[in-house]
Amino acid sequence: MSPLPLDMPDDYPWLPSSTRYPLADLGELAARLGSPVTYDRRGEVVWMDDMSHGLGVYRASVYGAGAVVRVTTDIGLISGYALDLVGGSDAERTAQLVRSFSMAKLGKTGLEIGFCMISLNEEFWTILSRFDGSNQHIGRLRVYAETGQLTILKDDGTEQTIATLGHLDDPASIYHVFKLVCDFDSDCYVRLLFNDHVYDLSAYGLRIAAATDIPQHRMTLAQISRAGYNDQASVGYVILTGNEP
């Protein structure tokens, strides 16, 4: 049952004669206050990880010489811990994290991460996808550290450049924050938030590809190194949201 509204008296010092609604979900408040980002508070927090519990909930994969996924305390963001993704120097040159969720009805779905480019890299992928049992519906953001180029994967399989922001690697270990929001009911992107920038992506459709799997949502983070290097990125937190406006 929804909480009853509280009508403020005329002499109330803040918003007189207004209607206020009491907070019904303290867990939601705690999750939102735990996020270091203040400019986007839309959507309902479904799951949050500050990386203090290690790799247990993820499936980690590494490819190429020197590739590794590891927990570190070197440059934590909000918990003192981070997950390092170090790509291999040859072959596929990739370090990857995957987390799957049961097929709940989430409405428009958002994936927010805080990440730090320790070095230049070939590219960093964030994928938010849904399997419906027959097809995979894919929203993918690709970030290039050297140029700061942000691209998304469109429904026709081509890349669309959203912005070019300049170098994103930083010796001071500065974290960047982005949030990718997808509408899986309409198979289209909604928006991208990157630090203090907001990009409207509603003109672009999600990629749909045949895939046999159980119905589920999935998030994938992948760091791809340059040939001959073990490039590194750190992830400080991940937040999955649902019912985005």
Report whether pLDDT(34) > 90.
Answer: no
**Residue 200, number of CB atoms within 10 A of its CB:** 11
Domain span including residue 225: 15-244
State residue 107's pLDDT score. 87
Predicted confidence band of residue 18 (pLDDT cuts 50, 70, 90): low
Distance CA 28, CA 26 (A): 5
Q: Do the beta carbons of residue 34 and residue 48 sit within 8 Å? A: yes
6 within a domain of the structure (yes/no): no
197 within a domain of the structure (yes/no): yes
pLDDT tens-digit series, residues 211-223:
888 889 999 999 9
Report whether pLDDT(2) > 50.
Answer: no
52-59's contacts with Cβ under 8 Å and 24+ in sequence apart are 52/79, 52/80, 52/81, 55/83, 55/97, 57/99, 58/83, 58/97, 58/98, 58/99, 59/97, 59/98, 59/99, 59/100
Say if residue 60 is exposed, middle or buried (CB neighbours under 10 Å; 0-12, 13-18, 19+). middle
Q: What is the CATH number of the domain that holds 104?
A: 2.60.120.200
Q: Which of 10-24, 36-50, 164-178 has the lowest mean pLDDT?
A: 10-24
The SS3 call for residue 221 is: strand
End-to-end CA distance of the chain: 22
139 within a domain of the structure (yes/no): yes
Say if residue 210 is exposed, middle or buried (CB neighbours under 10 Å; 0-12, 13-18, 19+). exposed
Q: What is the model's pTM? A: 0.81
9 within a domain of the structure (yes/no): no
State residue 1's pLDDT score. 42
8 within a domain of the structure (yes/no): no
The SS3 call for residue 17 is: coil
Q: Which of 7-16, 97-106, 180-189 has the lowest mean pLDDT?
A: 7-16
Q: How many domains does the chain have?
A: 1
Give the pairing type, strands 123-131 and 82-86: unpaired
User: Which residues, at least 6 apart from 21, have a Cβ–Cβ distance to it below 8 Å?
Assistant: 3, 5, 6
27 within a domain of the structure (yes/no): yes
4 within a domain of the structure (yes/no): no
Query: How many angstroms separate the most distant Cα atoms in the chain?
Result: 71
51 within a domain of the structure (yes/no): yes
